[in-house]
């Protein structure tokens, strides 16, 4: 007799986690091809520095850039914790306190604080997405990313020779109506404060245009656009910005899903802009997270789950199988070029040979 058919269990969409039924080869990449610089990450107060370094060693991650250094006493403590214990394994960025933005001479004071921070060991300036989305001027209006009152701090970074890691905007879906067509519906349902549609939020393109004007106005300052500059969904436009502004770089952090679902387009982008892309993760120090990124960058595997699937969407990703010489630049050389004071090993022959062919 045929087996009785059970009624399907009702699921809410946030519990839906489809498994891929395609049977394809799987490559496990335990360590990065080269000693990687994770140029976009966040050390938190509940993390153990020795455990983090052990996890880095297990994955061949040479350097961890902590973008959450803060300012004042917080920055001092973070520098002591990371740089005093492991001077060659961490870099720490200064973060201005935008709660003070309406104080007199805010940007001039930030410029002075940045100079002091660099003297104490900080190696960059980090700007969160709050600028443009939640920081308000004294009149209650959102402060634009390119507001000229902030110019002294961008100028100071350029004069000090440290980069600005700047996060402007967010995934495209965060600026769309939250309806049945939004590919981040589940994520935004769980995190409604990440939805920037309506109210007085600027449209996505307006924020990106503000960022572009900032790049143009400060050509002597190096800017690193976090998360492919929030343009991983439109690599053609991301490339146009890189073409237009030689002082602009991007990192790949937290965009593995968007990049990996269109592997041919992504690979072409990585090959064309191999001198302007930095490796980064934005996901602490989990070994399986790192190995997921390595698999994406180093193999041609098909149809596998990105790290933290399906948080960014119900799709699988594909490896882009980058050549050794490109991997070296993205893992190591590009970050070393724009972040001062990093300890970098000598370029191996495997990364050189591809360029001579």
pLDDT at 303 over 80: yes
Of 24, 19, 26, 21, residue with least CA distance to 295: 26
Report the pLDDT value the prediction gives residue 347, as an integer from 0 to 100. 87
How far apart CA 322 and CA 319 sit, in angstroms, is 9
Model pTM greater than 0.85? yes
Contacts 24+ apart (CB under 8 A), 200-205: 200/141, 200/142, 201/133, 201/142, 201/175, 202/132, 202/133, 202/142, 202/144, 203/175, 204/169, 204/172, 204/175, 204/230
Report the pLDDT value the prediction gives residue 179, as an integer from 0 to 100. 96
User: Which two three-digit tokens encode residue 240?
Assistant: 């146009």
Query: Is residue 12 situated within a structural domain?
Result: no
Report the pLDDT value the prediction gives residue 349, as an integer from 0 to 100. 86
Q: Which tens digits make up the pLDDT trace of 209-232?
A: 999 999 999 999 999 999 999 999
Report the pLDDT value the prediction gives residue 215, as an integer from 0 to 100. 98
Domain enclosing residue 128, as ranges: 32-356
How far apart CA 249 and CA 327 sit, in angstroms, is 16
- The pair phi, psi for residue 15, each rounded to 5°, is -100, -5
Query: Is residue 294 situated within a structural domain?
Result: yes
The mean pLDDT value of the chain amounts to: 95
Q: Which tens digits make up the pLDDT trace of 245-257?
A: 999 999 999 999 9
Query: Is residue 216 situated within a structural domain?
Result: yes
Query: Is residue 22 situated within a structural domain?
Result: no
Find the mean pLDDT for residues 128-140.
98
Q: Which tens digits make up the pLDDT trace of 262-292?
A: 999 999 999 999 999 999 999 999 999 999 9
Q: Which tens digits make up the pLDDT trace of 151-166?
A: 999 999 999 999 999 9
pLDDT at 354 over 80: no
Report the pLDDT value the prediction gives residue 357, as an integer from 0 to 100. 43
Report the pLDDT value the prediction gives residue 350, as an integer from 0 to 100. 87
* Domain at 238, CATH number: 3.20.20.140
How far apart CA 98 and CA 106 sit, in angstroms, is 9
User: Which two three-digit tokens encode residue 186?
Assistant: 């589940």
Query: Is residue 308 situated within a structural domain?
Result: yes
Query: Is residue 8 situated within a structural domain?
Result: no
Find the mean pLDDT for residues 178-184.
96
pLDDT at 356 over 50: no
Report the pLDDT value the prediction gives residue 217, as an integer from 0 to 100. 98
Which residues are within 8 A (CB) of 6 and not within 5 positions of it... i.e. 6 or more apart? none
Query: Is residue 223 situated within a structural domain?
Result: yes
Provide the domain count of the chain: 1
Query: Is residue 98 situated within a structural domain?
Result: yes
pLDDT band of 5, cuts 50, 70, 90: low
């Amino acid at each position: 007799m045929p087996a009785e058919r059970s009624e399907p269990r009702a699921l809410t969409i946030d519990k839906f986690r489809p498994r891929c039924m395609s049977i394809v080869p799987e490559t496990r990449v335990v360590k990065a091809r080269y000693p990687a610089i994770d140029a976009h990450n966040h050390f938190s107060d509940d993390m153990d520095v020795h455990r983090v370094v052990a996890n880095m060693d297990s994955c061949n991650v040479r350097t961890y850039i902590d973008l959450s250094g803060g300012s004042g006493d917080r920055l001092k403590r973070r520098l002591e914790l990371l740089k005093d214990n492991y001077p060659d394994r961490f870099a720490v960025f200064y973060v201005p306190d935008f709660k003070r933005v309406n104080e007199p001479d805010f940007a001039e004071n930030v410029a002075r604080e940045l100079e002091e921070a660099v003297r104490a060991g900080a190696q960059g300036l980090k700007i969160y997405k709050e600028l443009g989305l939640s920081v308000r001027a004294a009149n209650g209006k959102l402060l634009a990313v390119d507001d000229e009152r902030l110019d002294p701090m961008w100028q100071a970074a350029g004069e000090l020779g440290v980069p600005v890691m700047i996060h402007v905007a967010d995934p495209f879906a965060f600026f769309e109506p939250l309806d049945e067509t939004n590919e981040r519906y589940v994520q935004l349902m769980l995190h409604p404060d990440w939805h920037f549609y309506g109210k007085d939020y600027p449209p996505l393109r307006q924020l990106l245009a503000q960022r572009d004007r900032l790049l143009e106005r400060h050509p002597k300052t190096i800017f690193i656009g976090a998360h492919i500059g929030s343009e991983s969904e439109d690599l053609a436009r991301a490339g146009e910005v890189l073409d237009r502004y030689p002082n602009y770089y991007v990192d790949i952090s937290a965009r593995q899903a968007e990049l990996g679902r269109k592997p041919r387009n992504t690979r072409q982008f990585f090959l064309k802009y191999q001198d302007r892309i930095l490796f980064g993760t934005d996901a602490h120090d989990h070994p399986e997270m790192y190995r997921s990124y390595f698999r994406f960058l180093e193999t041609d595997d098909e149809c596998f789950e990105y790290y933290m699937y399906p948080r960014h969407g119900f799709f699988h990703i594909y490896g882009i199988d980058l050549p050794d010489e490109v991997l070296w630049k993205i893992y190591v050389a590009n970050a070393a070029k724009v972040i001062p004071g990093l300890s970098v090993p000598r370029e191996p022959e495997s990364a050189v040979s591809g360029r001579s062919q």
